[in-house]
Amino acid sequence: MSGIVIFVPQEKMLRDVERLLEKEDYEIDEVKYVHTSNIVNEAYRVVSNGASIIIARGIQAQIIKRFTKIPVVEITLTGQEISLLIVEAKKRIKTSKPKIGIVGMKNMFCDMTYFGQIFDVDLQCFLAEKDQDFHQIIGHAVDANLDLIIGGDMACLEAEMAQIQCMFLSSTEDSIKVAIETANRMKYAQEVEKRNNANIEVLTEYSFNGIIKLNLSGQIVMMNPVMEELLGINKNDVMDRYIWDILTDIEHQKVENVLLNTREDYSTLIQQNNQSLSITLIPIKVNDVIEGAILYCHRLSGAARIGNDKLQEMYLKGYVAKNRFEDLELASIQMEEVILLAKVFSQSNNPVLIEGDTGTEKDILAACIHNNSIRKTGPFITVNCGGLSEAEQAKMLFGTEKDFQGALITGRRGTVYIQEIEQLSYHNQVLLFQTIMKKALIQEGAEKITMLDVRLIVSSTDDLAFKIKENKFRADLYYCLSGLYLYIPPLAERKEDIEMYATKYIKEYMQRYSRYYILSDEGKKMIKTFSWNGNLIQLESFCERLILTTKQRKLDEHIIRRLLNQMYTNVKKKENFSELEEIQDPRAIPIIKALDKYSGNRLKAADELKISTTTLWRYIKKYGIEKKYK
């Protein structure tokens, strides 16, 4: 059996169905009269025999739905059938405007609002939403002082016991025929889906990637053998479970966003069973409507595997990145885009260049990238080129021939983060470029070659493209580093983040110094409109001093303005106190000169500066001169 089964609650209906099947060429596997008390057992029987669809009526259909998962097509009485029943009831009662009650499950009937008016009867409907409520509904009908009750077996039995006339809710061929045709369409759709699923199953079974199919709720509905092997589980143990309960490192909200169609896809790296896995989630769309998602997964090779002794040594030496993407609480759209790009870059082993002003989140972002990569269990070593001589830079990065291992060797299977790369000497730039290209360290004066397994992240507070024009940075190294490029906008361009960080710092320092203050809306506005040239460094130090020195409980506009004037005497207030002017960045001067020379013509200015118009516009925004050259 692999087709359609019909259950009817009365022998007369059974004969009606059999007559219909003799006339029509329908493929029905079984037709049976079943008493309601035995409907569940019969449903289990045909399901175990392979039935794909059951046709049933009223309370029997509801019970089958409640106790099984098989699709059920309900026999619904047509308006014509109900009309015939009411006409027959009037003939039996033979009184003017008789009181007639119709009892049954709501799913059996069409709209009967005006039937009483049409047939000049007092028509009362007693319809149950759930099969559990049916006995109570019948009781209401029996107590309603009706002349006649129209209903199924159970309703008629109760009516007879109460000595009330009753009529069985008989169906004509019309409603049965409609139900059979509906079931046939459902069966055809099932067969098409089975063929499609069979094709998909072949593809997934022989795929080299792990594959999971999710429904719209995020529950697992399919898993291929590769995924079972990667996770070390049997797919039958996780069916219908939520994906975020199985892959605990994935972000629950990001998965829901894909399923809700608020983002196109979701990619990340996770750690599962001591292995690094690359995850990509793509929605399943049918006519632009999301119906679920497919999760692709593959194991990343080369992931760091470090023993407990090595791990303890890393912590003792401070070679650990503390920041993670999931810990970031940034409010601005600009930083959301930066973070999304950084997550994508974390899947690569190639260098990442992060540019941003002093005090921006460069260091935080570097740590997040490391902790989201396959090297997350390896060391995270930071080297700052600022304030070091050329020899000291070389020693810290490349080590010495005799007794000192530099960061590039110490960071094996991890990440080396080079701060202030713009301060790296020209000679050391050559060495670093050669090291990156050859993936090997060749120390000067030594014949030994050390193969490297390390990922580089570098950051700069200067625009390295300008450094190239000044012959202070090598073009080859720049292009080697800038393939994966991230730019962090200054806080002045991210008002939402200023408020978020200010609230965070004030709360932290209130807890540290056991004090309590309230930051007013005007105070927040004053903080948000300040330029904060020093970005997070400046904002945090301001918040600490604010908590240490303020005696009033309320941190209002006047307190904020007074402290800003005290701390930053090189900054002048504008008359309306809405914002404060900062000393112009000297790097903006050549841009301003070129734009002034050509009366704001960006194409000509970019041509003179030998940069693209897109890069020029980025510099205009970066140095805060866009209002003048719109």
pLDDT tens string 179-223: 999 999 998 888 887 777 666 666 666 677 889 999 999 999 989
Mean pLDDT of the chain: 86
Residue 85 confidence (pLDDT): 93
| β pairing state of 210-214 and 165-168 | unpaired
| β pairing state of 99-105 and 148-151 | parallel
- What span, in angstroms and rounded, lies between the C-alpha atoms of 135 and 154? 8
Contact 48, 71 (CB under 8 A): no
Q: Exposed, middle or buried, 591 (CB in 10 Å: 0-12/13-18/19+)?
A: buried
Residue 575 confidence (pLDDT): 35
Strands lying side by side in the sheet with 99-105:
122-128, 99-105, 148-151, 165-168
Structure tokens at 141: 């009908």
Q: What residues have CB less than 8 Å from 537, skipping those under 6 apart?
A: 358, 359
Contact 618, 493 (CB under 8 A): no
Residue 394 C-alpha from the chain's centroid: 44
Q: What residues have CB less than 8 Å from 337, skipping those under 6 apart?
A: none
- What span, in angstroms and rounded, lies between the C-alpha atoms of 250 and 266? 10
Structure tokens at 494: 């991210």
Residue 577 confidence (pLDDT): 40
Q: Residue 80: enclosing H or E segment and its boundaries? A: helix 79-93
Q: Residue 454: enclosing H or E segment and its boundaries? A: strand 454-460
What are the pLDDT digits (tens) for 125-178? Answer: 999 888 778 889 999 999 999 999 999 888 898 999 999 999 998 887 888 999
- What span, in angstroms and rounded, lies between the C-alpha atoms of 364 and 321? 9
| β pairing state of 414-419 and 454-460 | parallel
What domains does the chain contain, in order, with CATH numbers? 4-75+176-185 (3.40.50.2300), 79-170 (3.40.50.10660), 207-299 (3.30.450.20), 308-488 (3.40.50.300), 491-581 (1.10.8.60), 586-622 (1.10.10)
Q: Exposed, middle or buried, 359 (CB in 10 Å: 0-12/13-18/19+)?
A: buried
Residue 581 confidence (pLDDT): 42
pLDDT < 50 positions in the chain: 303-305, 307-308, 311, 315-316, 571-584
| β pairing state of 99-105 and 72-74 | unpaired
Which residue reads 């590039």 in tokens?
A: 408
Supply φ then ψ for residue 306, to 5 degrees: -125, 135
C-alpha distances out from residue 305 to 271, 378, 414, Å = 12, 8, 10
Contact 43, 64 (CB under 8 A): yes
DSSP class of residue 421 equals: G
